[in-house]
Amino acid sequence: MTSEHTEQLISLYNGSIPVRSRWTYRTAEPFTIAAAFQTDNDSWVEWVFARDLLLAGLSSAAGEGDVRFRPGSDASDRVLYVEIESPDGHAMLVMSHADVADFAAVTAAMVPVGEEGDFFDVDALIAEITNV
């Protein structure tokens, strides 16, 4: 049995433009989180990254690749800076730290941190890779 949790979160691009995002966690893929961001033309761009990266980024700067997190604060609240980068461009999003932390807490309730291997089906992965 697998389960999925998806949250709709609003972020700000360069502190001014609201961006809808959809964050998804699946017990069948316990090591990863998918975050999709809505673009101007109503399509979505999805990024998949390690759950450990998000958890680390909630307390200190984390990430050296295409996805980076850094906690901070603005005039009124704690925020989480999310940087995403690709050959097509770069974006800095500012999100509510509490909202992202709540999402992370739900993922930990679904699959406790450190127990991801108990939920990961390595046989299914091998079958997928060998049946290409």
Top mean pLDDT of 43-47, 68-72, 111-115, 121-125 is at 68-72
Predicted TM-score (pTM) of this structure:
0.81
Q: Assign residue 65 the CATH number of its domain.
A: 2.30.31.20
pLDDT class for 1, splitting at 50, 70, 90?
Answer: very low
- At residue 13, the pLDDT reads 60
123 is written with which tokens? 């046989």
Burial of 117 (0-12, 13-18, 19+ CB in 10 A): exposed
Query: How far is it, in rounded angstroms, from Cα 85 to Cα 121?
Result: 30
Total count of domains within the chain = 1
Q: What is the pLDDT of residues 75-115, one digit of tens each?
A: 778 999 999 988 877 888 888 899 999 999 999 999 999 88
Per the structure, the complete domain to which residue 12 belongs is given by: 4-130
